[in-house]
Amino acid sequence: MNKRVKDVVDAIVSAVQRVLDEREITESEYRTALHYLMKVAEQGETALLCDVFLNSTVVATKARLSSGSTPAIEGPYYRDDAPLVVDRLKTYDTDDHKPLLIRGTVKGVDGSVIDDVTIDVWHSTPDGKYSGFHDGIPSDFYRGKLRVRPDGSFRVHTTMPVAYQIPNDGPTGALLETMGGHSWRPAHVHFKVKAPGYETLTTQYYFEGGDWVTDDCCNGVESSLITPDMVEEGARVMNIEFVIEPVLAHAGANS
Ligand code: MBD
Ligand code: FE
């Protein structure tokens, strides 16, 4: 018997039951929903569907309890097997790919420099695909692990990601369309900042003025995550000051 599981599942079930009742859901609608959920699982979109509708709420809870940088949703395309990268992510180098320099610092909430920090960086190709998931793009492209320098700084060169349409040939995209919405995310770069003894920070940063920054289908944008339009030596610069906090003694409401 796990009390937390019982408490949460009971709460979920009664919330859903209330909607079934209030909206007077018919048996045929209920069957349609079951078939839909089976299709989601069959097509491997369970994580995507949940990320679209639910992850931002979990992240908001985390943000409320955190004193570090603003967290954001992880999305379905993180890989822990990304290679260590020194200076530049592997990208396809064709002429129309715009250069991006990502740089900044990692510090503790008290302003201190932290030992042994690694930053996972991952983002889409210039055509909105993720390596290791889409179109056979090798999984060491457009992603990597950076070691933060002893002075707390980091920098890495890559190419600009683009506004990203989540796969809309599948059930998740179909549902968004049926609801009169869209399946676009603003261009973004994902980060996971890890250090021993510190809470892992999972976040994303966006580009000022970019398409869909104010209308993300995943509801993942916070104003503090939008980087100003800065260009140096022909490259868009994303300058980020990450702040991470020591491991929290976990005081979850029901633990
Ligand atoms: C993504 O690239 C993403 O970051 C999220 C959150 C959901 C779907 C695709
Ligand atoms: Fe993404």
Q: Where are the domains of the chain?
A: 3-42, 58-244
In this predicted structure, what is the pLDDT of residue 254? Answer: 47
Place of tokens 């999972």: 202
* Residue of 46, 51, 129 best suited for mutating to test ligand 1, as the one with most atoms within 8 Å of CB: 51
Q: Over 80: is that where the pLDDT of 237 sits?
A: yes
Q: Over 70: is that where the pLDDT of 31 sits?
A: yes
Residues lying with their CB under 5 A of ligand 2, a single-atom ion? 75
How many H helices and E strands in the chain?
5, 11
Q: Over 60: is that where the pLDDT of 153 sits?
A: yes
In this predicted structure, what is the pLDDT of residue 43? Answer: 94
For 55-87, b/e burial (b = at least 16 CB within 10 A) is bbeebeebbeebebbbbbbbbbbeeeebeebee
Handedness of CA 31, 35, 36, 41 (dihedral sign): positive
In this predicted structure, what is the pLDDT of residue 230? Answer: 94
In this predicted structure, what is the pLDDT of residue 96? Answer: 75
Ligand 1 atom 2: the closest Cα is on which residue?
75
Q: In sequence order, what are the beta bridge partners of 127? A: none
Instruction: Identify whether the C-beta of residue 142 lies closer than 8 Å to the C-beta of residue 130.
Output: yes
Q: Measured between alpha carbons, how far is 27 from 33 in angstroms, rounded to an integer? A: 10
Q: Dump pLDDT digits (tens) for 162-211.
A: 998 887 789 999 999 999 999 899 999 999 999 999 999 999 999 999 99
List CB contacts of 8: < 8 A, sequence separation 6 or more: none
Instruction: Identify whether the C-beta of residue 83 lies closer than 8 Å to the C-beta of residue 218.
Output: no
Handedness of CA 194, 219, 55, 254 (dihedral sign): positive
pLDDT above 90 coverage of the chain, percent: 84
For residue 214, the CA-to-ligand 1 centroid distance in Å is 16
Coil, helix or strand at residue 105: strand
Atom of ligand 1 nearest to the CA of 164: 2
Say which range, 24-28, 31-35, 53-57, 114-118, has the weakest mean pLDDT.
53-57
For residue 219, the CA-to-ligand 2 centroid distance in Å is 12
In this predicted structure, what is the pLDDT of residue 135? Answer: 86
In this predicted structure, what is the pLDDT of residue 167? Answer: 79
**Protein fold of 58-244:** Protocatechuate 3,4-Dioxygenase, subunit A (2.60.130)
For the Cβ of 76 lying below 6 angstroms from any atom of ligand 1, the answer is yes
Place of tokens 């890890």: 194
Q: Over 70: is that where the pLDDT of 47 sits?
A: yes
In this predicted structure, what is the pLDDT of residue 103? Answer: 97
Q: Dump pLDDT digits (tens) for 226-236.
A: 999 999 989 99
Crossing angle of helices 46-53/55-65, nearest 10°? 50
Q: Dump pLDDT digits (tens) for 52-95.
A: 999 999 999 999 999 999 999 999 899 999 999 989 999 987 76
Q: Which of 187, 237, 225, 241 is nearest to 60 (CA)?
A: 225
